[in-house]
Structure 1
């Protein structure tokens, strides 16, 4: 298993889409901070980040879009593409157990996704603190807030990566994976909330899903109980969808 994980890690680090995604996110963060530095809100400017901690908070609010878009693209070019180029068939033909093959791929994909999810907020925080000053949170601990939101960003990213990875295993095609991920993640919230008017139980399901957790990432005040629930939701989602990925892959015909 360790050899499979190392092999998948090597492939991820050589994946151009992964590095392009990181570069785009870092560049976007730099632009965001520079706009905050030079765009005066008193003169009609639209940027209101006045410090590094403000840039961190605003970047967390933008991160759901990064996760929903970026992970679909990465899954398409890192996981689904291996069906087309024959890598998946060669791995199975080499005699490795299917469950270990896909578990290694999903684990490495999740780790890569977690790293990607941190790029935009961290660059905003570091560069924003250097350019704008660190700043402070009214009535709260900045260090505690950063540690909590950073940890939750990692957990949410892992959970979304597992779901997106499952889509990639099901669909086998880069274009289908990217397209379906976009449509699903951007419309599922509205569909569930509309359907909950007729089936109220769906609202409870939504409240205990990563779809709700990701929207609360930037909250400055979270009780310990709610935090533990959110952590459990993310961990259980990751375990469940990695398990589903293993089940699907073991039964799938590899051409």
Structure 2
């Protein structure tokens, strides 16, 4: 199993889509921090952040789009593309069980997803603190907020990676995976909210889903009950879709 994971990690670190995502997100974070530094909100500037911690907070609010788009792209070109080039078939016929093969791949993918999810906020807070000072939050402890949101970013990224990895296993085509995942993530919220007018129970389901957690976890004044709800929902989502992905892969015909 360890050999399988090392092999998948090696492939991930040499995956062009991961490096492209990292470079784009790093550059975007640098540009964002410099815009904030040179923008004077007292002079009619549009940027409201004035410290490293505020940049961390604002970048986490935007991070939901990075998670949804970035993880869709990575899943398409790290998981689905290997059906087309025969890598998956060779792995399955190498003597390892299907469960071990897909667990190793999904584990490497989830670690890549965590890296993608952290780059934009991490670069923003580091560069923002160097340029503007770290600053402080009026309604929360800096250390508590950073530790909480750092951990939740990793957990939410793992949950979304589990869902997107499941899509990639089902669709086994990079273009279909990227397209379907992005469309799904950007429309599912609105569809559920509209449908909840006719099926009220859907509203409760949505409020206790990772779709809601990703919107709330960066809130400075998040209550402890909502925090624990977010942790449990994210962990449960990760576990459920990981098991679904394993089950789907074990039953899938690989050509």
Kindly tell me the number of residue pairs found equivalent between the two proteins.
Answer: 255
Aligned equivalents of 1:144, 1:102: Cα separation in 2? 36
**Does 2:117 align with 1:117?**
yes
Alpha-carbon distance between aligned partners in 2 of 1:188 and 1:139, rounded to the nearest angstrom: 32
Report the counterpart of residue 156 of structure 2 in structure 1: 156
Which segments of 5 or more consecutive residues in structure 1 lack a partner in the other structure? Answer: none
Q: 1:6 maps to what in 2?
A: 6
Corresponding residue number in structure 1 for 2:214: 214
Secondary structure of the 2:193 match is helix
Detail structure 1 runs of 4+ shifted over 3 Å in the superposition.
none
Matches within 5 A, 1:31-180: 31-180=31-180
Tell me the secondary structure at the aligned position of residue 83 of structure 1: helix
Counterparts of 2:172 and 2:217 in 1: how far apart (Å)?
31
Q: Deviations over 1:59-115 (max 9, x none)?
A: 000000000100000000000000011000000111210011111111110111011
**Deviation at 1:46?**
1.4
Aligned to 1:30: 30
Distance in 2, matches of 1:62 and 1:34, equals 17
TM-score w.r.t. the length of structure 1 is: 0.98
Matched with 1:181 is 181
**In the alignment, what sits opposite 2:244?**
244
Unaligned 5+ residue runs, structure 2? none
- Residue 223 (structure 2) aligns with: 223
Say what the alpha-carbon RMSD is for the aligned residues: 0.8
Is the Cα–Cα contact under 8 Å of residues 80 and 172 in structure 2 kept in the other structure?
yes
